[in-house]
């Protein structure tokens, strides 16, 4: 390498190490999204596999990738965790700005699901008498902490909660919801199933913030379609009334 080339490499290294313009540009996103998945015993292991594939298909869908790339920065921050009475790490924060990024995220999500479901299979045999309750307030607090610690700067932060029942541990979800909204975050919900009481609970005590909404998944066949629409809603703050996105031409 000639002297000019060497100086260029040194200069680039200096900028990166010192946290100069290159680093700050790389860490700006159009939105930071953290998704929490219910791992309480009310969600069956079969449903977890359905959610996993629904997430994978949604993240890989051309519609979601186009929505991401049409943003000002053309990328989002994305993280995923499981929850019941504690938090289960699944996908740490990463940037998604392309189909290749989405494929990397999906590979990590599938690996995390396989590990968690293998653990769940053992634990559920041990805990079958008592089960594992649904601590929605903890899920909201954990998601809020993850957003506050996100390594990417963004003017928009969204929490997605995917579950099928109300909080049944200690304090209700409403207090944690209100504390989260006070930080300026938006909370959206996806209800597994079509129980009207659970849907209303999510609407009244879980979701909130600008453009917030609740989707529900009435059947496993619709999982990928609804999660695709849900992520598009997150990214473009559109279709908040649950209507279909406009088709691409």
Domains located in the chain, CATH noted: 30-236 (3.40.50.410)
Give the per-residue pLDDT at 147.
97
User: What is the band of 121 on the pLDDT scale with cuts at 50, 70, 90?
Assistant: low
pTM of the predicted model as reported, rounded to 2 decimal places: 0.81
Give the per-residue pLDDT at 16.
36
Across residues 88-109, what is the average pLDDT? 96
Residue 59 pLDDT exceeds 50: yes
Residue 25 pLDDT exceeds 90: no
Q: By C-alpha distance, which of 158, 157, 177 is closest to 167?
A: 177
Give the per-residue pLDDT at 142.
95
User: What is the band of 14 on the pLDDT scale with cuts at 50, 70, 90?
Assistant: very low
- Beta bridge partner(s), residue 160: 35, 188
Residue 105 pLDDT exceeds 50: yes
> Are 82 and 37 contacting, i.e. CB atoms less than 8 angstroms apart?
yes
């Amino acid at each position: 390498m000639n002297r000019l080339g060497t100086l260029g490499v040194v200069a680039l290294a200096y900028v990166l190490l010192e946290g100069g313009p290159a680093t700050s540009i790389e860490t700006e996103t159009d939105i930071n999204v953290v998704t929490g998945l219910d791992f309480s015993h009310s969600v069956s292991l079969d449903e977890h596999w359905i959610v996993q594939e629904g997430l994978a298909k949604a993240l890989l869908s051309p519609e979601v990738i186009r929505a991401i790339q049409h943003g000002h920065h053309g990328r989002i921050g994305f993280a995923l965790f499981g929850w019941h009475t504690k938090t289960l790490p699944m996908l740490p924060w990463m940037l998604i700005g392309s189909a290749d990024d989405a494929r990397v995220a999906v590979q990590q999500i599938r690996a995390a699901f396989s590990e968690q479901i293998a653990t769940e299979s053992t634990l559920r045999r041990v805990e079958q008498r008592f089960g594992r309750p649904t601590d929605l307030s903890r899920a909201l607090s954990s998601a809020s902490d993850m957003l506050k610690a996100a390594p990417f700067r963004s003017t928009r932060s969204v929490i997605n909660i995917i579950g099928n029942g109300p909080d049944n541990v200690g304090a209700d979800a409403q207090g944690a919801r209100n504390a989260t909204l006070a930080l300026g975050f938006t909370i959206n919900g996806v209800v597994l199933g079509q129980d009207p009481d659970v849907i209303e609970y999510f609407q009244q005590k879980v979701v909130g913030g600008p453009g917030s909404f609740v989707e529900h998944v009435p059947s496993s066949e619709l999982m990928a379609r609804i999660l695709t629409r849900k992520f598009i809603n997150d990214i473009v703050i559109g279709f908040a009334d649950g209507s279909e996105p406009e088709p691409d031409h």
